[in-house]
A and B are shown apart, each in its own frame.
Chain A
Amino acid sequence: MELLIGQMFAGLSLGSVLLLAALGLSLTFGQMGVINMAHGEFIMAGAYTAFVVQQSLGSAGVSLLVSLPAAFLVGGVMGLALEGLLLKRMYHRPLDTLLVTFGVSLILQQVARDVFGAPSVDVRVPSWLQGNVELLGAPIPLTRLFILALALACLAALALLLKATPLGRRIRAVVVNRDLAEASGISSRRTDQLTFFIGSGLAGVAGVAVTLIGSTSPYLGPNYIVDAFLVVVAGGIGQIKGAAIAAFALGVLQSVFEFSTTASIGKVLILAAIVIFLQVRPQGIFTLKTRSLA
């Protein structure tokens, strides 16, 4: 029983990290058809923001609370810059955006190496997040619980934003039909920028979260980007709901696979599971309904 609870929670915890990494990616993917390989480096930027904030503030507790909005801002601004400098020129070429942003991610990794050095750095966990709580006899790390809460909070905030605000309505309109939205007086340019700001900002927040469970290095991005992509693919492109379900499903599945085999075999099994799943639903869990034939 304890083992089962422990495994379930490990899966949920993995899923919440995946969700944080994939939420922003899914948003920008759906909005502009842009596949942002540099999203992983935005996560890294968020992690280094947490590091820098802690270095300058000292207190682990205060700096965690400060670094969440700070990392959101850092990630968001980087996203805005990327969108403005490169991606806005590349509509209708989603595959090329993948390669362009891969080039950007190479550059950002090297910048991180040149600024912070190649060895990894650690962010201290605040005292109120150290230790475990008992859940039905199984120890649950508080940091993991915090990340789960953070992921759910981000999910809720994003869902609320999309559902209930004028900006959310504009975003949804542009996703469904860019030309029609434009004809109805929505500035798709401004909507793109805001979407990219929010999506990339979420990557920054994800970066702060991962500093609580591991160390930060210039190689942090590639560890998350592939899994985040898989979540987006399995969930259906641009579907926040799908991303949430896929993230937690993959998280639980991966922890089960890794528990019953080894970490590396588990990784391969996850990929096989996704390929098999796509045989049943080629467009992911949820599909955007459009009339386009392509």
Chain B
Amino acid sequence: MSTATARRAHTARAGAAGNGAAGTPRLSGQLAAFGRSRSGVLTGFAAGAALLLVAAPALLPIFSLTLLGKFICFAIVAVGIGLAWGRGGMLTLGQGVFFGLGAYIMAMHMKLADAALFGGTGVPDFMMLYGSGTVPGWWEPFRSPVVTLAAVVLVPGLVALVLGLAIFKRRVKGAYFAILSQALAAAFAVLLIGQQATTGGSNGLSGFRSFFGLDLADPANKRMLYLLAAVVLLVVVAAARQLMHSRFGELLVAVRDQEERVRFLGYDPATVKTVVYVLAAVMAGVAGALFVPLVGIISPADVGVTPSIAFLIGVAIGGRATVLGPVLGALGVAIAQTSLASTFPSFWVYFQGLLFVLVIGFLPGGLASLPGLLGRMRRRKDDADDGSLPSASKES
């Protein structure tokens, strides 16, 4: 929906930007890539949908299915990061904040609902333990399922809107933006840990029994939750693809590569960046809200600086500027982590560190750029004087 609006709003003015921006060789390479990948993305999307919605529920036991659901949540966050970082050049190191906002809002609702259903007192169990034994005022709105569902989308979106406007309108960018978003994640985690009586502190919120009246112990409901996450992922991927292929998506790439030129053409890069930052935040928030019922716990350890940055590695491995790269990368890393980290915890940390170093340092376009890179190397050998090599996506 937002894509269509953006397209209509920009069609009138965007022609000049498209042409002007295409004047630089780096951009023309980027724009040409739009057309080429279209059928590939559609095939991949259809195969992915069949795999996620039909094959996985039929083949996997419920435990693995729930685990896959958790990975899908990370993949949803990754789609947003792919848009903001890969397409928009905004290195956001604080997606854990938005993930956490969505997750904690959902967790608060589930805690309140459980307390009303099973507790008798109507007060969540941990509050009886640490707190005053009364529900704090700012928890109250989340008793309502409707408010909760709206807040899961709106709260991360609004936080990102305010921050995005404050940061991008003043042309704070690059390293400054990255560090501020990182500080935000640190502050959020500290805040959660500090308010033990109302947020569960470093233990977080856990022990949920029902999800909107459904029994969470029932495998059928877990399957339903998984399917919900899978559908959300597919919707988010489709939306991201549409956005990337719209005028707005071209404008976003133009802002990433030549922000000053885009400004000279009469656009406000701050608006473009803020819109994408908000979108990425909403995706992370929704992912967080799905994460809580699937995984059954949310704690500051899931939202601080390190998990926020760890979200990026899958995106980088898959290919930050592509549609499906972030999704596949995030799923791959999550699967590798689960299978390796439990048996070789120390090895996994070394491996993760090396992944960051190798992928970011030596393959910034991710695995998605590998075929193109190899092809180019072969062509360079064949035709040494071909001067117009499309460069791999890099940003400063």
A→B interface (CB under 8 Å)? 29, 33, 35, 86, 89-90, 92-96, 98-100, 102-107, 109-110, 113-114, 222, 226, 229-230, 232-233, 237, 262-265, 267-268, 270-271, 274-275, 278-279, 282-283, 293-294
Contacts and interface: CB of A to CB of B under 8 A. Distances in A.
Given A95-B174, A98-B91, A275-B167, A110 B184 contact: no
Interface string B63-105: 0000000000000000000000000010101000000000000
Contacts of B112: none
Contact of A264 (B194, B353, B357, B360): B194
Give the interface centre of A105, A106, A226, A265 by most chain B CB atoms within 10 Å. A106
A18 B254 CA distance: 38
A189 to B, nearest CB: 19
A274 B175 contact: no
Given A93-B395, A110-B349, A263-B190, 11 more contacts: A94-B175, A95-B174, A103-B357, A104-B357, A105-B353, A110-B346, A226-B182, A264-B193, A264-B195, A271-B183, A275-B163
Contacts of A263: 190, 194
A222 B306 contact: yes
A9 to B, nearest CB: 23
Contact of A229 (B167, B179, B364): B179
B187 A35 contact: no
A102 B356 contact: yes
B304 to A, nearest CB: 9
B183 A103 contact: no
B360 A226 contact: no
Contact of A100 (B188, B357, B394): B357
Given A264-B191, A279-B166, A294-B396, A98 B356 contact: no
Contacts, number: 137
Give the interface centre of B195, B309, B356 by most chain A CB atoms within 10 Å. B356
B216 interface: no
A114 B364 CA distance: 30
A104 B172 CA distance: 27
A191 to B, nearest CB: 21
B179 A230 contact: yes
Contacts of A275: 163, 166-167, 180
B172 A282 contact: yes
Contacts of A105: 353
Contacts of B346: 110, 113-114
Contact of B316 (A35, A99, A274): A99
User: What is the predominant secondary structure among interface residues of chain B facing chain A?
Assistant: helix
Contacts of A106: 349-350, 352-353, 356
Nearest to A35: B175
Interface string B164-192: 00110011101110111011101110110
Nearest to A223: B186
B155 to A, nearest CB: 16
A110 B183 contact: no
A279 B170 contact: yes
Contacts of A102: 309, 356
A283 B167 CA distance: 11
Contact of A35 (B167, B172, B179): B179
Contacts of B14: none
15 contacts: A35-B175, A92-B396, A93-B396, A96-B361, A98-B175, A99-B312, A104-B353, A104-B356, A110-B346, A233-B179, A264-B191, A265-B191, A265-B194, A279-B166, A294-B260
A267 B184 CA distance: 10
B176 A96 contact: no
A163 to B, nearest CB: 26
Contacts of B220: none
A241 to B, nearest CB: 18
> Nearest 5 A-B pairs (CB), nearest first?
A264-B194, A103-B356, A106-B353, A107-B353, A110-B349
A115 B130 CA distance: 37
A102 B306 CA distance: 9
Given A94-B396, A99-B316, A226 B309 contact: no
A86 B355 CA distance: 14
Contacts of A107: 349-350, 353-354, 357
Contacts of B193: 264
A233 B352 CA distance: 28
Contact of B353 (A110, A226, A232): A110
Contacts of A267: 186-187, 190-191, 194
A35 B178 contact: yes
A108 B349 CA distance: 10
Nearest to B258: A294
B164 to A, nearest CB: 11
Contacts of A230: 179, 183
B396 to A, nearest CB: 6
